[in-house]
């Protein structure tokens, strides 16, 4: 497909992803499109969990929520509704059939896997735009935040009375990405008792079990914010933290988007693809093994299951956190 004639593009649809972390890694693509087509109207199609990321964006006309679990009839209705919009350019970051079925003048191409083996995921998404002639230089992660979100975040943090705090995220969608809950508890206690930081626990609804375990194992009392914030309020809270300590999950990418200091635990996934983009302000801890990163759902290390994560000690994590905080 030829490069886009930008003068012929008035209506754009960007199809993004479903999980919050993955969606945040597509926000540079949103910013690149806005810069290249300042006069065009932009709609974004997104999974239900990530719609709030875009609803406050001043440059996005419409946020279209696509739930893959919906009925075939509803999917057909959505397709015909989108056709009536007559998009000139459809940028698809999800490999769907929509770009073909909507008959736009221009569309992104399917991704060639071998061309992006070691690229960070945000750059993989941007590469789709580059291939059709969209300039992407300088496009970074971005979560739009309203004054009301900042004010609500301040109210949520009132119980710690303005004291410096560390945000911890002990959850992750997959259990294979989670550092031990008992270690999170021990690390949190050390940071409170030895360095004086308040501890704020963050996460998503599916993290409730691991959150309960962390808090029950702590000697000190944290501020529990699980399920008490939307994504924009959470962004403000992470931005205000002295440090975000997290597994490879959505809050890590929120931290990257707001420029937070980050200590991240990685096991089976590859930090070159999914790690913090704020490299100068971040540290990744992982055990270097021949089998890691394996990028598979089931551990292949039969002799010592999940050694890549389990072998990271509390002492090593505390030293890394102190190094970032004192830098």
Domain ranges within the chain, ordered by starting residue: 6-130, 147-326
The model's pLDDT over 269-278, given as tens digits with 9 standing for 90+, comes to: 889 999 999 8
Q: How far is CA 136 from the centre of its chain?
A: 19
Q: What is the pLDDT of residue 115?
A: 53
Strand, coil or helix: 39: coil
State residue 46's pLDDT score: 95
Query: Could you tell me if 199 and 220 are in contact, meaning their C-beta atoms sit under 8 angstroms apart?
Result: yes
Judge whether 6-130 and 147-326 match in fold.
Answer: yes
C-alpha–C-alpha distance, residues 238 and 263, integer Å: 12
The reported pLDDT for the residue numbered 95 is 87
Residue 18: count other Cβ atoms within 10 Å of its Cβ: 15
Q: State percent of the chain over pLDDT 90.
A: 75
Residues with Cβ within 8 Å of residue 296, at least 6 apart in sequence? 268
Q: What is the pLDDT of residues 123-151, one digit of tens each?
A: 999 999 999 999 999 999 999 999 999 99
DSSP-based three-state secondary structure for 270: coil
- Model pLDDT, residue 151: 97
Q: Report the top-level CATH class of 147-326.
A: alpha beta
pLDDT score at 302: 63
Give the whole-angstrom CA distance, residue 127 versus residue 131.
Answer: 6
Extract the residue ranges of the chain whose pLDDT is less than 50. Answer: none
Helix (H) or strand (E) holding 194: helix 181-195
pLDDT in the model for residue 293:
80
Predicted pLDDT at 296: 72
For residue 106, CA distances in Å to 13, 97, 100 come to 11, 14, 10
Torsion region of 195: left, alpha or beta (phi above 0 gives left; psi -120 to 50 gives alpha): alpha
Among 67, 80, 56, CA closest to 18: 67
How does pLDDT run across 213-271, given as a tens digit for each residue? 999 999 999 999 998 999 999 999 999 999 999 999 999 999 999 999 999 999 888 89
Instruction: Give residue 2's pLDDT.
Output: 61
Nearest to 218 by CA among 242, 187, 246, 243: 187
Residue 161 pLDDT: 95
The class that CATH gives domain 6-130 is alpha beta
CA 105/CA 102 separation, integer angstroms: 9
Tokens of 204: 């998503």
Q: Which residues of 126-146 are buried (b: 16+ CB within 10 A; e: fewer)?
A: bbbbeebebebeebebbbbbe
C-alpha gyration radius of the chain: 21
């Amino acid at each position: 497909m030829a490069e886009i004639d930008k003068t012929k593009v008035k209506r754009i649809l960007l199809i993004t992803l479903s999980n919050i972390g993955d969606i945040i890694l597509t926000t540079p693509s949103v910013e690149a499109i806005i810069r290249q087509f300042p006069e065009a109207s932009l709609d974004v199609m997104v999974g239900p969990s990530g719609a709030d990321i875009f609803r406050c964006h001043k440059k996005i006309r419409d946020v279209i929520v696509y739930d893959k679990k919906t009925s075939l009839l509803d999917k057909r209705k959505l397709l015909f509704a989108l056709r009536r919009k007559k998009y000139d350019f459809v940028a698809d970051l999800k490999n769907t059939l929509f770009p073909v079925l909507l008959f736009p003048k221009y569309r992104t191409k399917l991704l060639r896997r071998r061309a992006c083996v070691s690229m960070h995921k945000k750059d993989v998404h941007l590469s789709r735009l580059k291939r059709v002639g969209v300039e992407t230089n300088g496009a970074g992660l971005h979560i739009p935040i309203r004054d009301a979100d900042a004010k609500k975040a301040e109210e949520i943090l009132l119980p710690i009375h303005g004291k410096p705090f560390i945000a911890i995220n002990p959850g992750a969608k997959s259990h294979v990405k989670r550092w031990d809950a008992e270690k999170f508890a021990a690390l949190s206690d050390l940071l409170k008792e030895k360095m004086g930081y308040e501890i704020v626990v963050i996460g998503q609804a599916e993290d409730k079990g691991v959150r309960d375990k962390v808090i029950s194992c702590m000697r000190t009392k944290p501020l529990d914010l699980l399920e008490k914030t939307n994504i924009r309020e959470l962004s403000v809270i992470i931005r205000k933290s002295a440090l975000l300590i997290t597994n490879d999950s959505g809050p890590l990418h929120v931290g990257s988007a707001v420029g937070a200091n980050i200590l991240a635990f990685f096991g089976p996934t590859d930090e070159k693809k999914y790690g913090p983009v704020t490299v100068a302000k971040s540290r990744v801890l992982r055990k270097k093994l021949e089998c890691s990163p394996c990028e598979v759902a089931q551990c292949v290390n039969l002799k010592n299951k999940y050694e890549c994560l389990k072998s990271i000690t509390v002492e090593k994590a505390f030293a890394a956190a102190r190094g970032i905080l004192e830098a």
